Amino acid sequence: MSNNIDLKRGLTIPLSGAAALKTSGTIVPQTVAIKPTDFKGFAPRLLVREGDKVLAGSPVLADKQNPDLLVSSPVSGEIQAIVRGDKRKLLAVLVKADEKVQYQDFGIHNPGGMKAEEVKELLLKAGLFPALVQRPYGIVADPSLTPKAIFISTFSTAPLAADTEYTLSEDFAAFQACVDALGKLTPGGVHVGISKATASSSPFHKVERAIIHEVSGKHPAGNVGVQISHISPIMKGDTVWTLSPVLAVAIGRLLLTGKVDLRRKIAVTGPMAIDPAYVDALPGIPVKSLRKFYDPTANELRFVSGDALSGESVGEDGYLGYFSDQITILREGRERELLGWINPIRPKQFSSSRAYFSWLTPKKTYPIDTNTHGGVRAFVCSNVYGDVLPMDIFPVYLIKACLAGNIDDMEKYGIYEVLPEDLATCEFVDPSKNDIQDIIAKGIDTMIKEMS
Amino acid sequence: MEENTNKPGLFEKGGKFGFLHSTVDAFDTFLRVPATVTTKGAHIRDSVDLKRVMIIVVIALIPAALFGMWNVGYQHNLAIGDTTTGFWGTFWFGFLRVLPLYLVSYIVGLGIEFTSAQIKGEEVNEGYLVSGFLIPLIVPVETPLWILALAVAFAVIFGKEVFGGTGMNFLNPALLTRAFLFFSYPSVMSGSSSWIAMRKGETLIDGATGATPLSFLSEGLEGVQAQYGTDMWSLFAGTIPGSVGETSVIAILLGAVILLWTGVASWKIMVSSVAGALLVGWLGQVGGATTVPAYMHLLLGGFAFGTVFMATDPVTSAQTETGKWIYGFLIGALCVTVRLFNPGYPEGMMLAILLMNTFAPLIDYCVTSSAIKRRAKKNSSAA
CB contact under 8 A, A353 and B46: yes
Asked whether the beta carbons of A319 and A75 are under 8 A apart, the reply is no
A45: left (phi over 0), alpha (psi -120 to 50) or beta: beta
Give me chain B's average pLDDT, please. 83
* Chain B environment of A382 (Cβ under 8 Å): 314, 317, 319-320
Please report the pLDDT score of residue B9 as a whole number. 57
Question: Which of A339, A342, A355 is nearest residue B262 as measured by Cβ atoms?
Answer: A355
Of residues B226, B191, B215, B192, the one with CA closest to residue B343: B215
Distance from CA of B320 to the nearest CA of A (A): 8
Please report the pLDDT score of residue B227 as a whole number. 46
- Determine contact: A103 vs chain B, CB below 8 A: no
Angle B127-134/B87-120 helices, nearest 10 degrees? Answer: 140
Q: B45, B53, B55, B163: best mutation site toward chain A, by most A Cβ within 10 Å?
A: B45
Model confidence at B233, in pLDDT bands (50, 70, 90)? confident
Asked whether the beta carbons of A190 and A150 are under 8 A apart, the reply is yes
Mean pLDDT of A230-259: 95
Of residues A242, A235, A234, the one with CA closest to residue A138: A242
Question: Which of A233, A333, A435 is nearest residue B41 as measured by Cβ atoms?
Answer: A435
Q: Using a CB cutoff of 8 Å and minimum separation of 24, what contacts does A293-296 make?
A: A293/A268, A293/A329, A294/A329
Of residues B337, B72, B351, B356, the one with CA closest to residue B217: B337
pLDDT in tens, B287-345: 887 777 888 888 888 899 999 999 999 999 999 999 999 999 999 999 999 888 876 66
Asked whether the beta carbons of A435 and B40 are under 8 A apart, the reply is yes
CB contact under 8 A, A308 and B44: yes
Question: Which of B33, B36, B263 is nearest residue A341 as measured by Cβ atoms?
Answer: B33
* Chain B environment of A302 (Cβ under 8 Å): 43
pLDDT in tens, B73-112: 988 888 887 778 888 999 999 999 999 999 999 999 999 9
Question: Which of A304, A380, A396 is nearest residue B43 as measured by Cβ atoms?
Answer: A304
CB contact under 8 A, B383 and A232: yes
pLDDT in tens, A167-181: 999 999 999 999 999
Q: A336, A349, A434, A445: best mutation site toward chain B, by most B Cβ within 10 Å?
A: A336
- Determine contact: A15 vs chain B, CB below 8 A: yes
Please state the φ and ψ torsions of residue A241, each to the nearest 5 degrees: -115, 150
CB contact under 8 A, B47 and A373: yes
Tally A–B CB contacts below 8 A: 196
Asked whether the beta carbons of A155 and A195 are under 8 A apart, the reply is yes
Question: Which of B40, B53, B375 is nearest residue A431 as measured by Cβ atoms?
Answer: B53
pLDDT in tens, B48-67: 888 888 989 999 999 999 99
Whole-structure pTM value: 0.90
Q: Got the DSSP string for A283-321?
A: TT-BGGGGGGGS-TT--SEEEEES-TTT-EE--TT-B--
pLDDT in tens, A11-23: 999 999 999 999 9
Model confidence at B347, in pLDDT bands (50, 70, 90)? confident
Please report the pLDDT score of residue B200 as a whole number. 60
Asked whether the beta carbons of A284 and A322 are under 8 A apart, the reply is yes
Model confidence at B203, in pLDDT bands (50, 70, 90)? low
Residue of B nearest to A332 (CA): B37
CB contact under 8 A, A424 and B372: no
